[in-house]
Amino acid sequence: MTSPVVVSPDAPDLEEIRKCVHCGICLPQCPTYRVLGEEMDSPRGRIYLMRAAAEGRIGLTETFARHFDLCLGCRACETACPSGVRFGSLLEATRAQLRRHGPPPRRRLLDRFVYAVFPEPGRMGAALGLLRLYRRSGLQRLVRSTRALRLFPRLAAMEGLLGDVPRPVSLPELHPARGRRRGRVGLLTGCVQRHLFPHVNRDTARLLTLAGWDVVVPRAQGCCGALELHAGRIDDFRARARRLVATFADVDWVVTNAAGCGSAMKEYGHWVGEARGLALRTRDVTELLADAPLPLGRLELTVTYHDPCHLAHGQRVRQEPRQLLRRIPGLRLVELAESDFCCGSAGVYNILEPGIARELLELKMTRIAETGATVVATGNPGCLMQIAGGARARGLDVAVVHPVELLARAADAYSG
Ligand code: SF4
Ligand code: SF4
């Protein structure tokens, strides 16, 4: 018997790895396998690599690391797997091992920038302020006309994602319930959501109050740590989880409207014992609104719905957003083929691996165009930006919105 080569904390659980029976049922659902056609870029191949490393048969080499860089962490393989392999936590543990023992990240500078800025609301706000200036000063038009960005594909990917950068909005800390009071919820405003989609947070708070919840929006709240968890930066992730436990100590539920944040928070218990209670009290906004009476007026729209990976596969929330959209009088919901197939956004994957992300986005945009819908609804800021960028690039005339935006618009249209 060989002994494990990797025996540090947070190593992938060998028992979990051994649950894989190599049946291959997950392969057609895996976006990287679909694009690259390589066994080692499939869930089964990656699990084989994890097991070989854990049993000391291979080392954590550059080649090993590359197969895990390429994984989107979309967890479509978990949904497909009849043996119940929890691929997401195996992946996070493998990335944690790579950070501790593996080769240095290939994209060290970009890596440092992403993790220094994205999870820090203050720095993110300052960076977006500069971007606003870049757009409004005409510099963006100039840079695009020179095509110089073609030389820097990752920078070009980041630039292509940029739509309008709204002005910062500060929400009141307390939004009192309307009508019959159900209790008190805390709203996680999210690092990207609060800066790029502040109206989604505003609409979320408003709908929750209409549903009878007092909504608390703590000013000092930090990041949930999702980006860090998915990158294997487990110590940073734990520190952020502990801070949020204190922030949301006195609410019945913590509500998120960003699938990636909700998915990471629901996993707190696996990584941080004292955050288990918070994980159990975390809900996506659509879960809390699903059974609430809401005053909804007519919207004559044809809408399709894209399932964010971390909502459909990570949280198993699929029906609630659809049910809510169907409750809007006049709204016609048309199903999107392969609606839970990744759009290529996957946190910062579209910046780090722009080639594969673009291929996945092309597939998604083709599917969207087939529906004939004029609106795409999806509940994650990364998907919102990625699909809106895809629509701009194709010249496809569709609005890309969070489901709560449609519900809030319908509430505005309600006349009693
Ligand atoms: S998480 Fe997604 S990309 Fe990674 S192996 Fe699973 S299905 Fe493939
Ligand atoms: S479906 Fe599950 S058991 Fe089958 S190969 Fe994929 S991960 Fe392994």
Q: Could you tell me the residue ranges of all domains in the chain?
A: 14-101, 108-160, 174-289, 301-412
3-state DSSP helix/strand/coil percent for the chain, to nearest 5?
Answer: 55, 10, 40
CB 327 within 8 A of CB 293: no
Please tell me the distance between residue 84's alpha carbon and the centre of ligand 2 in angstroms.
Answer: 8
Q: Closest ligand 1 atom to the C-alpha of 342?
A: 2
Ligand 1 pocket member 380 (CB < 6 A): no
75 lines ligand 1 (CB under 6 A): yes
Q: What angle do CA 279, 283, 287 make, to 5 degrees?
A: 150
Exposure letters 309-337 (e unless 16+ CB within 10 A, then b) = bbbbbbbebbebbbebbeebeebebeebe
Give the number of the atom of ligand 2 that is nearest the alpha carbon of residue 80.
Answer: 1
Asked if the model's pLDDT at residue 153 lies above 70, the reply is no
Same fold, 174-289 and 301-412: yes
Which residue, 395, 380, 285, is CA-closest to 340?
A: 380
CA 84 to chain CA mean position, Å:
22
Ligand showing the shortest atom-to-Cα distance for residue 342? 1
Whether residue 302 contacts residue 375, with contact meaning beta carbons closer than 8 Å, is answered with yes
User: Which of the listed CATH numbers 3.30.70, 3.40.50, 1.10.10, 1.20.120 matches domain 174-289?
Assistant: 3.40.50
Q: What CATH number belongs to 14-101?
A: 1.10.1060.10
* Atom of ligand 1 lying closest to residue 29 CA: 7
Q: Is the pLDDT of residue 1 over 50?
A: no
Q: Which CATH architecture has domain 301-412?
A: 3-Layer(aba) Sandwich (3.40)
- Mean per-residue pLDDT over the chain, rounded: 91
Q: Is the Cα torsion angle 185, 234, 50, 12 positive or negative in sign? A: negative
Q: How far is the CA of 82 from the centre of ligand 2 (A)?
A: 7
Which residue's C-alpha comes closest to atom 7 of ligand 1?
A: 30
Contact assessment for residue 407 and residue 204, using Cβ atoms and an 8 Å cutoff = no
What is the number of the ligand 2 atom nearest to the C-alpha of 44?
5
Q: What is the pLDDT of residues 66-86, one digit of tens each?
A: 999 999 999 999 999 999 999
Which three-class secondary structure state does DSSP give residue 329? coil
Going from the Cα of 71 to the center of ligand 1, the distance in angstroms, rounded, reads: 5
For the entire predicted model, the pTM comes to 0.91
CA distance 36 to 45: 13
Give the β-pairing of 213-216 and 174-175: antiparallel
Question: Is 70 exceeded by the pLDDT of residue 177?
Answer: yes
Tell me the best of 16, 75, 77, 87 to mutate to test the pocket of ligand 2, counting ligand atoms within 8 Å of each CB and taking the most.
77
Q: What is the pLDDT of residues 347-384, one digit of tens each?
A: 889 988 999 999 999 999 999 999 999 999 999 999 99
Q: Strands, E, within 315-363: which ranges? A: 331-334
Q: For residue 82, how many C-alpha atoms fall within 13 Å in the half-sphere facing its CB?
A: 5
Predicted confidence (pLDDT) at residue 206 exceeds the cutoff of 90: yes
Confidence of residue 193 (pLDDT cuts 50, 70, 90): confident
